[in-house]
Every structure is written in C-alpha cells, then in structure tokens.
Amino acid sequence: MYDVVIIGSGLGGLACGHTLARKGLKVVVLERQGQPGGSLQSYLRKGRHFDTGMHYVGGLDEGQALHNLFADLNLLSLPWKRLDPEGFDKVTIEGSTFLYKEGFERFAENLSHDFPHEREALHTYVRALREMGERDGVNISAWTWLNELFHDPLLIDVLSGTCLKMELRRDTLPLFSFVHNQGPFIESSWRLDGPGSLMVDRLIGDIRSYGGEVLCGEEVEELVERDELIAAARTSLGNVYEGRFFISDAHPVTTLSWIKESRKIKGVFRRRMASVPNSFGMFTVSVVTKKGALPAFNHNKYIYARGDVWGQHECPQRPVGAVLVTNPASDQIDILTPTLFGTWSRWSDTSVGRRGEDYKALKGVFAEECIALAETQLPGLSSQIEEIYTSSPLTWRDYNKTPEGSAYGMRKDWQNPLMTILSPKMSVGNLFLTGQNVVLHGLMGVTRTAQFTCEQVINSL
C-alpha cells in the first residue's frame, strides 16, 4: 500500500514524486515506457545524445521564479549554461534580425532602437511580463491585448516570434499563457551542458534515496474505483498498485479512459474533456554536422521567411517558421517547426518504424524545408550535414501517449478558461492531475503545476 501512486514519469510526475517522497510519503512512479522521463528524456544515436522536448529554460537566476523551484528539486547543481545576455534569442523576419536582450528594461530599450515610436508601449509590455499574477489574464485575448498596446505589426511579429514555446492562435490564446511563457526567458535564459536526461537521472536518484520507487514497463490500464475513491492502479503486466492518493501526469482524456466505471465522474464531464481541442504538434530535425563546421553561437535563432507570425502558426501545413537550438560545444543542431496533426493523420493507425515509404517521403520534404530555413542564417549548412534524424507528432504520440502528438497539451482558450485551465483536483476525491494539460505548459509551467498538485495532496492528508 502506497501513500501516493503517480502515473507517468514526465517532469510533472517526477517533480511530484520528488516533492512527496522528500516529505516522507511512500511513493511509486509508474512509467509505461522502458525509459523514464517523458519529454525530458534524450535518445542515443551512434554515441550521441539528442534531446526531445527540453531545449532551454528561463528564470533560473537567483531570485527568479524557477530558481527556488529547482532548488527544491535539487536541480540547481546540474551544469546549467547561461545564454548570451546580449542576445539570447534572435528573431529573423523576412531577412531582418532583432535581438532579445536579457533583463526587462534592457529588452525594452534595445527594441526601442528598432521601434522608437513604440518605446512607451514596450515599457508597458515588460511591466506586464514582470507584474502579472499567477491567474491574471486567463480571460483576456493575447492577440487583442497586443494589438491594443502596439500599433506596429512588425513589432507584434517580433514579440511573438519566439512563441514556438506555445501555440499562437488569435482566437484562443489567453494573455495568461503568453505572458507566463515569455517573461521568465527575458529574466534569464539557460541551457543544460548535456542531455535533458541529466534532470531525469537526478530526480529519479533522489526519489529512490528518499525511499520511493520508479518502475518502468508498467503501463496503467485501469484505475479501480471503490466507494467513490480510486483504490488501485492495474497495469498491463497484471500488477496492482494500491494507494491512498493517485496523481496522473497523463492527458486528462487518457486518465479518464482508465476509470471504467465511476459514480463521481459523470458522462457529461468525459464528453466535455474529449471535446477540448489539442494544441499543434512539432516536427523536429536533429542534424549532425561535420566536426567544426557549425559556427559556435550561444543563442537560439527563430526564423520566419515572411511576416504575419500569428497567421503562420494558425495553419502550418508546411514549415513556415522554425527555431534553431544548439550547444556551442557540439556539432549538433535541432530545428523545430509547428505542424498540424492532420498533416500526418493518414498514418494514425501505424506505429514507429512501420509507417511506410510515403511517410518517410513527407518527413524528407519537411526536413529539407526546415534545413532551407536554417540555411538563411547558417549558409552552407546542407553541405556540412553528416546525419539527420526526424520526428513528427506521431512520434510524440507513440512514445509519450500524447493525443494527436500535441506539443503543448490541451488548447487553452481565453473565452472558456474554466474548461481549459483545470484544477489539479478531480471530482474523485483522491485523484489529482499534473503536467502540461492542467494550468501551464513548458518546463516552468509544469514545475509550478507539480507544486500546486503536491500542495493539494498534502492538504488532503
């Protein structure tokens, strides 16, 4: 009998496991895959590590939001490297490049040189990033707010150009999501000098040192309800894990599918959750270049061949914008671009390695177009490539069991925040949610949500 059974070993599940085990609770984390970590995990090809979902983080400096969270999770001593404060992100739109400088006032002043007529609005903008509270802006349209504040559409594109960290949609994106996914990176931006699996290894090592367990190959198939509480999790191996409390790091629809019969969860709630659209997926091209061919740069490059950044994000049939992420000491570069699940849905009934030649051909086309975008900032890149590895939303779906391979979980909607920004506590009294589908996505959002989830569990003891 466990105090807490946690389903899923993504960052949300591991952060909850770490926090609760550290407080003396008997914890087990169940992971369906043979490798833990979810989107934090890296994969190995020919001796090289490639990251999947973790590329850089914001707000890690002392006194900033992520610093204390990572201190509690014992992650501060990992080899974090600060991105260039003079330009941690560079946004190129139609050949013109704009720098993001670290620090709110420096950020605003720097862009004021390019947009002097918007100086006052830029300072208003960074004040909002700095001062907006935990739940402010959930029922305000990010698109409307930006257009009321700024008059120059190019500046709106520049400020939105790094938003491959979220799903830009004019009709749905809440200001809450926009601000909390932008502000911490302007405070300070960092990357790991090593694979994201360093975080996974540290969290799991600590959980076990506190007496907790992390078990792989244990795919949950059912959450058994008795007397209006979850009594046990049953896995595909036939194992049964009983607990006082249960936390799911999975998508809410997946979580609900495990509860076959319930007196607490009504059919109308299941239908409501199933009706919420998922955010778009991501196509990733991981490139290995000839040794020494890749120029060292300690920033991220966001590239758009044309303006109207929001419009491009809303219906990305083909690569229209991309982010280039690399480590200055490596010969590797990741190119990521948003993509709709519908582009890949004809292969929905297939599995990894069994999708056929047409699927490989489409991946090849996407890879070529992503590399062409990258070459506008890294001339000659294609002639220096030695290896290419690609992944689509179907890859994410199959490895992480994320519906439609969604990169950012359920789509948040400012017009319906009660439906799309969820409470960690479910109607079944001892079942809780965590992860990117609950409040905020991204590493900062998931870590904070795990904190909220743990507080709810502890308050229920």
Per-residue CA distances from 445 to 152, 165, 195, 448 (Å): 30, 11, 20, 5
Compute the average pLDDT of residues 404-420: 92
User: Which residues have a Cβ under 8 Å from the Cβ of 432 and sit 6 or more positions away?
Assistant: 245, 246, 247, 248, 424, 425, 426, 453, 456, 457
Confidence of residue 318 (pLDDT cuts 50, 70, 90): confident
Domain with CATH 3.50.50.60 in the chain: 2-76+195-276+415-460
pLDDT at 179: 94
Helix (H, G, I), strand (E, B) or coil at 308: coil
Superfamily of domain 2-76+195-276+415-460: FAD/NAD(P)-binding domain (3.50.50.60)
Residue 133 burial by Cβ neighbours in a 10 Å radius (0-12, 13-18, 19+): exposed
- Split at pLDDT 50, 70, 90, the class of 50 is confident
At 447, is the secondary structure helix, strand, or coil? helix
Return the H-helix or E-strand segment holding 273.
Answer: helix 267-275
The pTM of this model reads 0.96
Tell me what pLDDT residue 329 has. 63
Q: Per residue in 261-294, pLDDT tens? A: 888 898 898 999 999 999 999 999 999 999 888 8
